[in-house]
Structures are given as structure tokens and as C-alpha cells.
Structure 1
Amino acid sequence: MFDPTLVSDLQVVAAKNPAIDLVLTQHGGHVGYFSSKTGQHQANDPDPWWAWNRILDWVKQQ
């Protein structure tokens, strides 16, 4: 979790380092959701295992 003003700096760093895969999302992120099922529904997100599924996506790409 970080201040959104850092996004451009993170993009620059990630672009220069092939070991970094930067994933920016509208809601949630690498630590999953600090919310309930109701909060997830309000965010219109159907994926209750977001963080785990991003890890599996990354593994499939390797």
C-alpha cells in the first residue's frame, strides 16, 4: 500500500527492472482486500481470491 502519487515513480522503476512486475488496480492489490464480501460486491469485483490468482497468473507466464 502506498500513496497514489508514487505511481509514476513506481512505473519508471518497474520499466527499468525486468525482475519487477508492477500490477496497478482500481481496488485492492498485492495484499488482497481489507474488506468484506459486501465491500467486494460494492467494488464490483467477482474474484474473492484476487492476490492468489495474480500469483498463479504470474507463475503461468514464467
Structure 2
Amino acid sequence: MSGKELKCATSSKGEKKNQTNREKLQKRIAKAQQQGRCNKVKALEYLLRNSERKSLTENK
């Protein structure tokens, strides 16, 4: 395998992990909204936004 192929193989694993983490956060946000926990929703949305930014900068 060349360096590019290896990087692509490892980045897809990282992307899958990031996707599952985002899905878990989204489920937690939905649950907090149903319970009426506004501050928890804000905190989780902050984590979600920043995790997406971090994953975008790592994949470049």
C-alpha cells in the first residue's frame, strides 16, 4: 500500500467513529429536549458543533 491508500483507509475508520459520536450526541440532545432541559440542550449542541469542526480540520 502506498501512503495515500493507507491514509484513506485510516481516515474512513475515523470518520465512522466521528459519525457514531455525532449520532449519540444527537440522541442525547433529543432526549434532553423532551425532558425540557434547555441548558443541557445548549451544552450538547455546543459539543456537537465543535466536534464537527474538529473532525473537519483533522481530515484536511
TM bucket, shorter chain: 0.3 to 0.5
Q: Which protein has greater RCO, CA pairs closer than 8 Å, 6+ apart?
A: 2
TM-score normalized with structure 1 length: 0.36
Question: Larger helix proportion, structure 1 or 2?
Answer: 2
